[in-house]
């Protein structure tokens, strides 16, 4: 097994520990973190999906791999949603593939500005719609993990 995947896998089996409460893992785009069981030991797997076919197809595939690994809570988070049409397209896709849509983060011009200037979203504008949407996810995620 590729050593970096093995290391993350080993870490996740033994974390969180001591004075840590929550571990958040930002994975690479490649599905290797799933096909190599790197992230099997998590409580919640968020699959970020944009409202276009290739992104949704990827989300469906990743969610399937996550479920195969036995992850209890595999959920989709819609991102860069530009309105009702986008949201209903994602919701429809999730419904027809038995995926749970946890929430939606809107397309946010302030976020694009933050990215351009290399400033974290939270420093750029803590009240931005996208930041507020992520804030809304926190409670959902904590509740999922506690269930």
| 43 scored as a contact of another protein (CB under 8 A) | yes
Cα angle 121-112-99, degrees, rounded to a multiple of 5: 80
Q: Measured between alpha carbons, how far is residue 55 from residues 11, 14, 40, 70 in Å?
A: 29, 32, 22, 23
Of 36, 44, 64, 93, the one binding another protein (CB under 8 A) is: 44
Is-contact 46 102, C-beta < 8 A?
A: yes
Quick note: the x/- pattern for another protein over 74-103, rule CB under 8 A, is ---x-xx-----------------------
Is-contact 114 124, C-beta < 8 A?
A: yes
| 49 scored as a contact of another protein (CB under 8 A) | yes
Q: How far is the CB of 109 from another protein (least distance, A)?
A: 14
Measured in residues, the chain has a length of 147
Site for another protein in 99-118 (CB under 8 A): 105, 111, 115, 118
Binding residues for another protein, rule CB under 8 A, total 68
């Amino acid at each position: 097994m590729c050593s970096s995947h093995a290391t993350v896998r080993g870490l996740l089996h033994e974390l969180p520990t001591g004075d840590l409460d929550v571990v958040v893992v930002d994975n690479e785009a490649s599905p290797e973190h799933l096909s190599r069981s790197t992230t099997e030991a998590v409580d919640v797997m968020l699959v970020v999906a944009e409202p276009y076919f290739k992104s949704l197809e990827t989300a469906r595939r990743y969610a399937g791999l996550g479920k195969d690994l036995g992850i209890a809570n595999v959920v989709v988070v819609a991102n860069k949603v530009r309105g009702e049409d986008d949201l209903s397209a994602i919701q429809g896709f999730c419904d027809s593939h038995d995926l749970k849509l946890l929430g939606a983060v809107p397309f946010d011009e302030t976020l694009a500005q933050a990215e351009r200037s290399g400033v974290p979203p939270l420093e750029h504008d803590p009240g931005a719609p996208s930041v507020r949407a992520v804030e809304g996810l926190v409670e959902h995620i904590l509740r999922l993990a506690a269930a």
